[in-house]
Amino acid sequence: MAETRRIESLDDRVIGSLWYLIIGCLTDPHSVAKYRVNNVVANMPEFQKAFSCKKGQPMARENACRLR
């Protein structure tokens, strides 16, 4: 069985976000992958924190949609 190694510099939030992006790009045929993935994570504070996105950048919208 192949050995599994963890990339030391990636924390769980980054790894979780990367899995979401990979799965989202590969599986859902309903919309263009770019929008299906980017529009979701651009509204996620967890993604922005994991990747150090600053407000106003494309992946950290100032007018993000939030459900409360």
- Tell which residue, 65, 25, 22, has the closest CA to residue 43: 65
Listed ranges 2-6, 14-18, 21-25, 31-35; the one with the highest mean pLDDT: 14-18
Query: What's the whole-model pTM score?
Result: 0.50
Q: Is 36 a residue whose pLDDT tops 80?
A: no
Contacts of 36 by beta carbon, 8 Å cutoff, 6+ apart: 24, 25, 28, 30
Q: How many domains does the chain have?
A: 1
Residue 62 located in a structural domain: no
Contacts of 62 by beta carbon, 8 Å cutoff, 6+ apart: 55, 56
Q: Is 58 a residue whose pLDDT tops 80?
A: yes
44 lies in which domain range? 12-50
Residue 19 located in a structural domain: yes
Residue 6 located in a structural domain: no
Give the separation between CA 53 and CA 59, rounded to whole angstroms.
6
- Higher-confidence residue of 14 and 9: namely 14
